[in-house]
Amino acid sequence: MRGTPTETHVRRAEKGVNGKSPMYGWSDQDGPAKAVPHALLALVTEQQATNAHLASIADSLDRIAAALNKPVDEPPAPEPKRRLWLPARRNA
């Protein structure tokens, strides 16, 4: 099998529409009738690939939405500055 399954089925459908055997390429009287199943298989194969791609996009959008809805943790408040009192200052 050369190419993707879709390309293979499309090529076989084209052969059948041209009046040849979809599988073997010799002249065939009912080539167009034999081309229909190959065209449908190509359509189904592409639809499955499209559905899988759309499902992955939906999954990514769900993860993005979940991340956006997650509350943001606020950073802890900084500790107040402590003054350093030197012994010389205390006597002043």
What lies within 8 Å, CB to CB, of 31 at 6+ separation is 15, 16, 17, 18, 19, 20, 21, 22
Give the pLDDT of the chain (92 residues) as one tens digit per residue: 467 888 888 988 888 888 888 887 788 888 888 889 989 999 999 999 999 999 999 999 999 999 999 887 888 888 888 777 666 655 55
How many CB atoms are closer than 10 A to CB 22?
Answer: 23
- Classify residue 3 by its DSSP letter: S
CB count, 10 Å around CB of 32? 15
Q: Is the pTM of this model over 0.85?
A: no
Residue spans per domain, the chain: 1-60
Contact 16, 32 (CB under 8 A): yes
Task: State whether residue 27 is helix, strand or coil.
Answer: strand
Distance CA 7, CA 25 (A): 16
Q: What pLDDT is stored for residue 49 in this prediction? A: 93
